[in-house]
Amino acid sequence: MQARLLLQDGTIFTGKSFGSEGESTGEVVFNTGMTGYQEVLSDPSYCGQIVTMTYPLIGNYGITRDDFESVRPFIHGFVVREHEVAPSNWRSQYTIDNLLKEYGIIGLSGIDTRMLTRILRNYGTMKGILTTSQKSVGELQEQLTAMSLMTDQVAQVSTKSVYSFRGEKERIVLVDYGSKAGILHDLTKRGCDVVVVPHDATADQIRRLAPDGIMLSNGPGDPKDVPEAVKTIAELLGEIPIFGICLGHQLFALACGADTVKLKFGHRGGNHPVKDLKTNRCYITSQNHGYTVLEESVLNTGLEVTHINNNDKTIEGLKHTKHAAFSVQYHPEAAPGPFDSSYLFDQFIDMIRTYKLDNPQATQQTKMLAAAQLAKATAPKGDLQYAQK
């Protein structure tokens, strides 16, 4: 069946459909990864987007459930040069076509993805409509003009309830703005006791979980669309060690008083060079974001830039000069790779342990005794004697 992709600038691409049939709208973006299409499809950070893969052959090693980054895909469309209908891989359970059909996602193949990518690079990401219908171009353009990009992606992809993975070491509260499974995996394999909470968890709700550290996850969309998260982070800053990744990095920056801005076409792929300003070492990183922290806004916020992108010099890492908190724009939990930056999880745990040594907490027995003494001092006359009876 024929499928078409219409961009808001009027450019139309016609090819063959695979996956589901129907119509879908979203922001059209591109990913430069040569592998990892499963992780792209299941990354919640792509919620509301039509994703174009620049690598020409997609689906050649099939689909394996173990490699998913979330329970289901959230993308609004998938565009490739060629999709493989007969994958070759002993781990493969089914094809990419089967996956898209299962979740009602439209696929488009057989178009010049190089041309599409160059349009997005030159003019920036733009709205698009992907369809298998026979509607006229005029009808599709009217729909596209009336369409607004999503602003509630985080609420759609975040967990609705608290859940945990028990461990024997530090307790980490993972705030789920659209968290990838890789973050949970990297924490649990280090023995952490992880409690995952919804994106709108309040500071008091997080405090009641008695965390040793707080992990701010990745997620989709504009960080300014999640003001409640910025408020919560600002309340907890300086009280509990914090590590932010991707959207978590941007929310951390906003909570400290910095600003964010949308990039022309974003950073999406597994081959982005990032320079550590302290060591001058360059790391190859996996990235997926459309926004960045504005460099001039960092002044007088208590933040220090720790990493920059070697391609466009945008901010890739921040740390607070007074509080135990840092963040990176890229993905240290990258799957299928690279794994250059997984050491950041160890750095986070080391920061927690140093913070606990420098800020010893009163034992539970001491807290209970202090509470009892306060109750005795403030209780109305007679109440305490009555309680003793």
Q: What is the pLDDT of residue 384?
A: 40
Rg of the chain over all Cα atoms, to the nearest angstrom: 24
Which residue's entry shows tokens 């349009």? Answer: 119
Contact by Cβ (8 Å): 158, 176:
yes
Task: Quickly state the pLDDT bin for 3 (edges 50, 70, 90).
Answer: very high
Q: What is the pLDDT of residue 337?
A: 84
pLDDT tens digits along 269-290: 999 999 999 999 999 999 999 9
Residues known to be catalytic? 246, 331, 333
CB proximity list for 43: less than 8 A, separation 6 or greater:
69, 70, 180, 218, 288
CATH T-level assignment (fold) for domain 2-148: Glucose Oxidase; domain 1 (3.50.30)
Q: What is the pLDDT of residue 365?
A: 60
Task: Quickly state the pLDDT bin for 78 (edges 50, 70, 90).
Answer: very high
pLDDT tens digits along 234-250: 999 999 999 999 999 99
What average pLDDT score do residues 118-141 get? 96
With a pLDDT cut of 90, the percent of the chain lying above it is 90
For the chain, how far is it from start to end, CA to CA, in angstroms? 83
Query: Of 152-161, 252-261, 334-343, 345-354, where does mean pLDDT reach its minimum?
Result: 334-343
Between CA 325 and CA 252 the distance in angstroms is: 9
Between CA 100 and CA 78 the distance in angstroms is: 9
| Element of type H or E holding 309 | strand 303-309
Between CA 127 and CA 138 the distance in angstroms is: 16
pLDDT score of 179 more than 90: yes
Give 360's DSSP letter.
Answer: P
Q: Which residues are annotated as a binding site for L-glutamine?
A: 45, 219, 221, 247, 250, 288, 290-291
Task: Return the domain boundaries, the chain.
Answer: 2-148, 154-358
Angle at 325 between CA 323 and CA 326, to 5 degrees: 135
Q: What is the pLDDT of residue 11?
A: 97
Least Cα distance to 223 among 160, 176, 177, 158 occurs for 177
With a pLDDT cut of 70, the percent of the chain lying above it is 95
Q: What angle do the packed helices 227-236 and 247-255 form, to 10 degrees?
A: 70
What average pLDDT score do residues 310-334 get? 97
Contact by Cβ (8 Å): 150, 290:
no
Contact by Cβ (8 Å): 30, 116:
yes
Q: Do domains 2-148 and 154-358 have the same CATH topology?
A: no
pLDDT tens digits along 31-42: 999 999 999 999
SS3 content of the chain, % helix, strand, coil (to 5): 30, 30, 40
Domain 154-358 has CATH 3.40.50.880: yes
Q: What is the pLDDT of residue 388?
A: 39
What is the full DSSP assignment across 258-280? Answer: --EEEEEEEEEEEEEEEEETTT-
pLDDT score of 71 more than 50: yes
pLDDT score of 387 more than 90: no
Between CA 123 and CA 339 the distance in angstroms is: 32
Q: Which residues are annotated as a binding site?
A: 45, 219, 221, 247, 250, 288, 290-291
Question: Can you list the pairs that 155-158 forms with residues at least 24 positions away whose Cβ atoms lie under 8 Å?
Answer: 155/199, 155/200, 156/47, 156/74, 157/44, 157/47, 157/70, 157/74, 157/219, 157/220, 158/198, 158/199, 158/200, 158/219
